[in-house]
Structure 1
Amino acid sequence: MNTTEVDAPRVGQRPWLALAATVVGAIMVGLDGTAVTIAAPYVARDVHATLPELEFIANAYLIALAVGLLPAGRVADRIGRRTTFMIGVLGFGFSSVGIAFSGSVTALIVFRAIQGLAGALLQPAALALLRTAFDGKRLPLALGVWSGVNALAIGLGPVLAGVIVEYLDWPAIFLINLPIGIIAAVSALFAVQESHARDATVFSSLRTLLTHRTVLVTGAVIALSSFGIFGLLFMLTLYLQNVLGLSPIVAGLWILGPTATVVFSALIGGALGERFGPRWPMSAGLLFVGCGIFGVAGAGQPAGYWQLVLPALGVGIGTGLCVVPATNALLAAAGERLTGIASAVQQAGSQFGGLLGIALLGTVLSSTVAGAVPAGTTGVDDIAQGMVPHGVSADVAHTAFTSGMNIALIAAAGITVLGALGTALLARR
């Protein structure tokens, strides 16, 4: 007879230490995810990287992270969630040291890919640890704190990187990960007992999970929320620095508000999901995201601080409202036996949604800019980044970029609002 063995949750025994350990891991991954964008010019200077090589250095991490998430979830279920988390945070720390001391493009790409795989190990294992440490009533609160801090770390990444690069150098961004990883690993060791899932029918159960309506809908909601906020941040970063001429630190402070808002709205989303079920908080959250993106698109050019930040706050509020109820519903649908896989689905949805948002909005932006400038204009690729190439007036370049950005954001807003309708497929509880 096929049997399933799952270690019982260690409810009530150091759950807050477990939350602290997973939050530290989330901070480490979140900061590195956005901090590298500020450090990129300095990295290119030191290793003499071309622009395609620099893009490969950045994408090696994202691709390895996204591709490794689902296998990592299965690894967590098999060898243990706590063990997988500890391997992930320590691997992330040591690979970061390798990045800091890399002297060539090849070494940077290799260590960035290893870092992405380590991040893939620790993220689904972190959610599984929370499921093990907290009972059902307190789990939404823990998920809210974890999601909110993760979003805050992403928002703070460019600001902290700007300060570190200005006063130290870019390797310091990565060197701080090793002591942080050691702290997270030791905390996890004492916070929660090991948990596994051993099942001879796991692959058929996995197929059932991935075709479960709740899993499909909640995974799509998580992907759509990341699609909106990552696409928006990508556009705003170009607009603030290349069009408005803000420094990296100041631009990071501008987008800190929308990302910090996720911290508070995530707590509200968890409470609303517990009270009313996941469907309506997810739907309302996606509507907030879509309307906020549409508001940014209508801000005009040039847009002042409040013209951009007020609608962008709606995007942050909506993201927090929908992600925590969606994550809780996904974990509940999976059950304890497949918590690691379900956690990986959540993280994969977030990563692929963000990558799709950047890719799709970037494509719309580039194609719109190409059609907005006069035929034969040189430096169209530069204009698509908000820069002014030689021989083109700043007014023409910036008007073309802003037009492309607005059309891309309107498309993203429409897709997100349509996604809110899809939550009607989810049961109330």
Structure 2
Amino acid sequence: MPKDKYVNTVERTRSPWLTLAAVAVGSVMTGVDGTALTIAGPDLAVDLGASITDLQWVANAYLLATALALLPAGALADRYGRRAVFLCGVAGFTLTSLAIALSGQVWLVIALRALQGVFSAMLQPAALGLIRAGFPARTLGPAIGVWSAVAALGLAAGPLLGGLLVAAGGWSAIFYVNLPVGLLAIGLTLTFVRESRSGQALRVRTVLNLVRPRQFRVGVALVAVNFGALFGVLFLLTLYLQTHKSLDPVTAGLWLVPVTGVVVLSAPLGGLLTRRHGPLPPASAGLLLLAVGLGAMATLDLHSGAAQVALATVPLGLGGGLALVAATEAILAAAPPAEAGLASAVQQVAGQLGGLAGIAVLGSILAGGRDFTHGMHLAVLVAAAAVILSAPLAVLLRRH
């Protein structure tokens, strides 16, 4: 293979774990931002006079822009350099965070959140592409597990950190905190990460060939189902804790730690299991635990305490971590190394669209219930049914 055909083959001499550390710092920023902003919604509404529709657009503008930009961003990373695109994504995300924190109008926050979504789209597939390029096949699963655990740590810390920041400095503090994290990610990347690219342009045939393997399509479907269930549940839990149970932001953040924090443990476990046994066992176990957790959520009501909520939701985080890592590894293993960025973008698109669908569907079911408790119970049971129906797909995953 010519040297300029696939740069990764000549630049895998530097420790891949340093690459993983650098891209993980950048990736964790997006995880913290997403869940922390959920807690900050009420304060933002009071400060800027935002309506419920405005708050929905603050979240959806980011998700939609990310989903639309992911595939082009992944293709740019493969062709022009994953390190370069990753750095642009981190720098843009950081600067946009500063602009949002300084905004005084809700329409400007929405517009900047959309721009931030574009930079997030540049960051995420490039990060996974750098990991795919830097690690040999035998350690790719554990590496993805560690990366997923760090991302999950951001999600887990988001609610609690968001509550503390809002209490200390208002909603804008959530965006100010991205500045030192972004600068650290840029410094680590410039120091430890080497460039990798394939030099190939994005063509329709390339995309069609990429999604042709059955394992790739199955992995994408499972990622969408998992993100739909997890995003939908976090949406329901936030409303349940702050609206239905009237908890303050810090307390609500603490109650959300079990469901998000357990992913920090289950994600690397999923990577190890995938390495040793292939993606089928962790994917199957993860989907089963997801269904169990969703079913357990149907027992929660206004009088449920923190322990009962934790017992019901911990299986969600445990199952989500196992299944997502297995499905992600299956996607990347089925893709040619030269198209790692594009494959990562497809994985991210599946997650974003799955999350949007989960929030939309479960939110609509919640609104259609007789009361909040009835609507939440119906929503989580529908989500459990969707997870159970997707479980047979895991059988189609094969070991690499």
Same fold (TM over 0.5): yes
- Map of 2:104 onto structure 1: 103
Q: What is the Cα-based RMSD across aligned positions, in Å?
A: 1.9
- Map of 2:136 onto structure 1: 135
- Map of 1:417 onto structure 2: 388
- Residue 350 of structure 2 aligns to which amino acid in structure 1? G
Return closer, same or farther for 1:261/1:12 CA change in 2, 3 Å cut-off.
Answer: farther
- Residue 7 of structure 2 aligns to which amino acid in structure 1? D
In 1, the alpha carbon distance for the partners of 2:301 and 2:105 equals 43
1:243, distance to aligned residue in structure 2 (A) = 2.1
- Map of 2:5 onto structure 1: 5
Q: Is the 8 A contact 1:90 1:178 kept in 2?
A: no
Return closer, same or farther for 1:312/1:201 CA change in 2, 3 Å cut-off.
Answer: closer
Q: Is the 8 A contact 1:82 1:192 kept in 2?
A: yes
Q: Deviations over 1:242-272 (max 9, x none)?
A: 2222211111111111211111111111111
TM-score where L is the length of structure 2: 0.94
- Structure 1 range deviating more: 53-62 or 280-289: 53-62
Count residues with an aligned counterpart: 398
Return closer, same or farther for 1:12/1:267 CA change in 2, 3 Å cut-off.
Answer: farther
Return closer, same or farther for 1:241/1:46 CA change in 2, 3 Å cut-off.
Answer: closer
Question: Are 2:385 and 1:406 equivalent residues in the alignment?
Answer: no
Matches within 5 A, 1:349-360: 349-360=350-361
- Map of 1:397 onto structure 2: none
In 2, the alpha carbon distance for the partners of 1:292 and 1:47 equals 37
**3-state SS of the aligned residue for 1:199?**
coil
In 2, the alpha carbon distance for the partners of 1:144 and 1:111 equals 31
**Stretches of structure 1 lacking an aligned partner (at least 5 in a row):** 373-399
Percent identity of the aligned residues? 45
1:168, distance to aligned residue in structure 2 (A) = 1.8
- Map of 2:80 onto structure 1: 79
1:300, distance to aligned residue in structure 2 (A) = 4.9
- Map of 1:261 onto structure 2: 262
Return closer, same or farther for 1:328/1:98 CA change in 2, 3 Å cut-off.
Answer: same
Q: Is the 8 A contact 2:236 2:376 kept in 1?
A: yes
In 2, the alpha carbon distance for the partners of 1:164 and 1:18 equals 30
Return closer, same or farther for 1:211/1:293 CA change in 2, 3 Å cut-off.
Answer: same
In 2, the alpha carbon distance for the partners of 1:199 and 1:354 equals 30
- Map of 1:164 onto structure 2: 165
Matches within 5 A, 1:29-428: 29-199=30-200, 202-368=203-369, 372=370, 400-428=371-399
In 2, the alpha carbon distance for the partners of 1:309 and 1:17 equals 35
In 2, the alpha carbon distance for the partners of 1:424 and 1:142 equals 23
Q: Is the 8 A contact 1:269 1:281 kept in 2?
A: yes
1:413, distance to aligned residue in structure 2 (A) = 0.5
In 1, the alpha carbon distance for the partners of 2:286 and 2:364 equals 26
Q: Deviations over 1:154-181 (max 9, x none)?
A: 1221211111121123222112212321
Q: Is the 8 A contact 2:152 2:263 kept in 1?
A: yes
**Stretches of structure 2 lacking an aligned partner (at least 5 in a row):** none
In 1, the alpha carbon distance for the partners of 2:18 and 2:278 equals 28
In 2, the alpha carbon distance for the partners of 1:406 and 1:94 equals 41
- Residue 281 of structure 1 aligns to which amino acid in structure 2? P
Q: Greater Rg, structure 1 or structure 2?
A: 1
